[in-house]
């Protein structure tokens, strides 16, 4: 099979399209023909060697996969060759104290797609049957591939961790990103007032079409002053933060008293100072969030199937153009996900 491999950490030029031995499913595993694999910023961190995950080249990237079952390993029951599936990002143990209490996103021994299997920048992938989720009819391959991480993460952050409810006001940072645009859609669907920010007016205009009520250009406007103007000097109930750097403190300063800031990333600055005094006097909260649960993804798949939410695909690339696909993502000019289609002609 063909796969995109890197043998040393670095820029997009370390990616090589190579012929690898066809993978074989072992006991309890399935072989998937990859039909779509969405790109994530995590892929860039892994390729550059700064992900803080244990990664040793040679390595095949790709965590967000949709495939068709091509072969079943020994002992696999309940699944058929030809079924369209997506591997849930994690293969959780089902036994630890967190799995046993409905908090599988905290599993103590989770295996991740591409870290504990090979990755999705390839024609085929083998994973344990424990990863598999069915993909409903009516969603295209690329839409399904674009859904899991963006909407799963957004659901977990907004509702499970951030406890957003009807009538509250939420500020979504960086609405042009995959998880930002997913959060706009879900928060709007849940009856919240949605304030969003982005680096360009074009991204704000697109987010408005997804249900954003008010947009702030964080390059040309004062985020905190705008939030206070829009909320009558009250601030927002929840800040949806995944950017880090300056937007983290601006998020805290945009909160109402007793407001919550939920955070799942920090590409623009992973270690930041923050002002303690207004934080505790306002009795604010910072809530960490990581990945999501199977149930949350299944809920989002059903919402997408019913047309209540729309996975956003910016563009697709054939496997051979994975370097150009990553470069497109790294320029950060896209709105929606970039998806590799291994079966497409280069």
Residues engaged in binding Zn ion (CB under 5 A) = 92-93, 96, 99, 107
Cβ nearer to Zn ion, comparing 92 with 169: 92
Cβ nearer to Zn ion, comparing 93 with 320: 93
Q: What distance in Å separates the CA atoms of residue 246 and residue 197, rounded to the nearest whole number?
A: 13
Closest by Cα among 46, 63, 68 to 149: 63
Cβ nearer to Zn ion, comparing 113 with 207: 113
Sheet order of strands, 59-60 included: 15-19, 2-6, 59-60
In the complex, what is the shortest distance from the CB of residue 107 to Zn ion, in angstroms, rounded to a whole number? 3
CA-based Rg of the chain, rounded to a whole angstrom?
Answer: 20
Q: What distance in Å separates the CA atoms of residue 37 and residue 296, rounded to the nearest whole number?
A: 20
Residue reference for tokens 């959780």: 92
Cβ nearer to Zn ion, comparing 92 with 328: 92
**CB-based contact 169:192 (threshold 8 Å):** yes
Q: What distance in Å separates the CA atoms of residue 152 and residue 38, rounded to the nearest whole number?
A: 14
Helices 178-189, 201-209: axis angle to 10 degrees equals 40
In the complex, what is the shortest distance from the CB of residue 111 to Zn ion, in angstroms, rounded to a whole number? 10
Residue reference for tokens 């399935």: 30
Cβ nearer to Zn ion, comparing 98 with 159: 98
Strand partners, 87: 132
Cβ nearer to Zn ion, comparing 21 with 102: 102
In the complex, what is the shortest distance from the CB of residue 94 to Zn ion, in angstroms, rounded to a whole number? 6
In the complex, what is the shortest distance from the CB of residue 95 to Zn ion, in angstroms, rounded to a whole number? 6
In the complex, what is the shortest distance from the CB of residue 92 to Zn ion, in angstroms, rounded to a whole number? 5
In the complex, what is the shortest distance from the CB of residue 100 to Zn ion, in angstroms, rounded to a whole number? 8
Cβ nearer to Zn ion, comparing 92 with 289: 92
Cβ nearer to Zn ion, comparing 93 with 190: 93
Convert 203-256 into a string of H (helix), E (strand) and C (coil): HHHHHHHCCCCEEEECCCCCHHHHHHHHCCCCCEEEEEECCCCHHHHHHHHCEE
In the complex, what is the shortest distance from the CB of residue 105 to Zn ion, in angstroms, rounded to a whole number? 10
Task: Tell me the three state secondary structure of residue 312.
Answer: coil
Q: What distance in Å separates the CA atoms of residue 323 and residue 6, rounded to the nearest whole number?
A: 11
| Direct distance between the N- and C-terminal alpha carbons of the chain, in angstroms, rounded to an integer | 15
211: which 2 tokens? 């249900």
In the complex, what is the shortest distance from the CB of residue 130 to Zn ion, in angstroms, rounded to a whole number? 11
């Amino acid at each position: 099979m063909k796969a995109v491999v890197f043998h040393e950490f670095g820029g997009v030029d370390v990616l090589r399209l190579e012929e690898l031995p066809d993978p074989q499913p072992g006991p309890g595993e399935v072989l998937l023909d990859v039909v779509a694999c969405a790109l994530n910023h995590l892929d860039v961190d892994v390729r550059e060697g700064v992900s803080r995950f244990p990664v040793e080249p040679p390595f095949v990237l790709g965590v967000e996969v949709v495939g068709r079952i091509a072969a079943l390993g020994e002992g696999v029951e309940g699944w058929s060759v030809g079924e369209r599936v997506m591997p849930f990002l994690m293969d959780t143990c089902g036994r630890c104290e967190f799995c046993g209490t409905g908090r599988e996103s905290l599993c103590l021994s989770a295996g991740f797609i591409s870290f504990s299997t090979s990755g999705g920048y390839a024609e085929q992938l083998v994973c344990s049957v424990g990863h598999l989720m069915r993909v409903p009819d009516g969603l295209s391959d690329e839409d399904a591939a674009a859904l899991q991480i963006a909407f799963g993460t957004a659901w977990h952050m907004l509702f499970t961790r951030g406890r957003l409810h009807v009538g509250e006001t939420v500020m979504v940072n960086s609405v042009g990103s995959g998880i930002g645009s997913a959060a706009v859609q879900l928060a709007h669907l849940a009856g919240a007032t949605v304030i969003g920010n982005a680096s360009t007016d074009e991204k704000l205009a697109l987010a408005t079409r997804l249900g954003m009520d008010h947009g702030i250009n964080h390059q040309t406007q004062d985020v905190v002053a705008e939030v206070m103007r829009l909320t009558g000097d009250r601030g927002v109930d929840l800040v949806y933060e995944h950017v880090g750097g300056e937007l983290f403190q601006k998020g805290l300063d945009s909160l109402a008293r007793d407001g919550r800031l939920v955070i799942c990333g920090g590409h623009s600055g992973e270690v930041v100072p923050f002002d303690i005094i207004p934080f505790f006097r306002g009795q604010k909260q910072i809530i960490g969030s990581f990945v999501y649960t199977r149930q949350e993804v299944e809920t989002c798949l059903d919402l997408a199937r019913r047309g209540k939410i729309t996975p956003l695909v910016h563009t697709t690339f054939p496997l051979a153009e994975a370097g150009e696909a990553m470069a497109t993502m790294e320029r950060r000019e896209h709105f929606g996900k970039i998806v590799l289609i291994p079966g497409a002609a280069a």
